[in-house]
Structure 1
């Protein structure tokens, strides 16, 4: 199994509001970036969407070290998700996104790690920039269409 690192971030201009997501996949000396945006979303949805989109970009099962500045995502993936599944997500938010995550994650070995936001970590800062730029671009495009 290839060992890769994934860095992700989600951003929301208001909560809810225009949001953006971004990821960076790292394998050996190679990097791949992805980003996108959505209107009427939340920061947590964009954080999870970034992870989902990164997993979609993988072509084979991998051992993944996932780095995010969202403690909620780290704890959800590492600690809580198994229990949510046993209780059929009763009372949980973003169930469809979590189910999509589970479908995409099933062939991988994933361990999530928290990194401090806005602390100078190059790849976290890059994801933050890509996610915010995507959200701002969508907001501007929407404003110009009205």
Structure 2
């Protein structure tokens, strides 16, 4: 559909789960002839946190949230979380199905707020490292952001 904002997001962490892992997020936005991309990196965040941050930063960057949005991510965690799991988490006071506090609660709350600001948003699960140009680009941006952070040193 030509009159929708196409969004691709990705996040990653080299050494996921380790305290000093290198983590990054990236997104691309396209609408007609307009195009924007952005990325960021830090130490110590998990892969899931970076996948969520990419979606949050992309949604923050969209000025006109009345235009339909098609958001592509290779994160089943993010897509299932925001379209399915979140409803029960909110009903149960942010407790998951294992009767434990939901991980990354603050990021889920922020993502949920931004999603609810959108008139129309569709989440599309893409296969990671497949031949999807938008996904290839955000993956490259994530790796570039990590490389730049490492090159800067701490």
TM-score normalised to the size of structure 2?
A: 0.86
| 2:40 matches 1:29 | no
Write the distance in 2 (CA, Å) between the matches of 1:12 and 1:132.
9
CA contact (8 A) 1:77 1:112 kept: no
Write the distance in 1 (CA, Å) between the matches of 2:39 and 2:143.
10
Number of the residue aligned with 2:98: none
Q: Structure 1: where are the runs of 5+ without partners?
A: none
Selected match of 2:126 from 115, 118, 121: 115
CA contact (8 A) 2:9 2:138 kept: yes
Structure with higher RCO (Cα < 8 A, 6+ apart): 1
Q: Which deviates more, 35-44 or 59-68? A: 59-68
Number of the residue aligned with 1:138: 149
The 5-angstrom pairing of residues 39-78 of structure 1 reads: 39-61=43-65, 62-78=67-83
CA apart distance, 1:103: 2.0
Number of the residue aligned with 1:106: 116
SS of residue matched to 1:41: coil
Q: Which runs of 4+ in 1 moved over 2 A?
A: none
CA apart distance, 1:133: 1.3
Number of the residue aligned with 2:11: 10
| 2:116 matches 1:93 | no
Write the distance in 2 (CA, Å) between the matches of 1:4 and 1:83.
29
Q: Structure 2: where are the runs of 5+ without partners?
A: 96-100
CA contact (8 A) 1:67 1:112 kept: yes
State the aligned residue count: 142
Write the distance in 1 (CA, Å) between the matches of 2:86 and 2:116.
13
| 2:130 matches 1:129 | no
TM-score normalised to the size of structure 1?
A: 0.90
Q: Superposition RMSD on alpha carbons, in Å?
A: 1.4
Write the distance in 1 (CA, Å) between the matches of 2:91 and 2:16.
29
Write the distance in 2 (CA, Å) between the matches of 1:31 and 1:86.
38
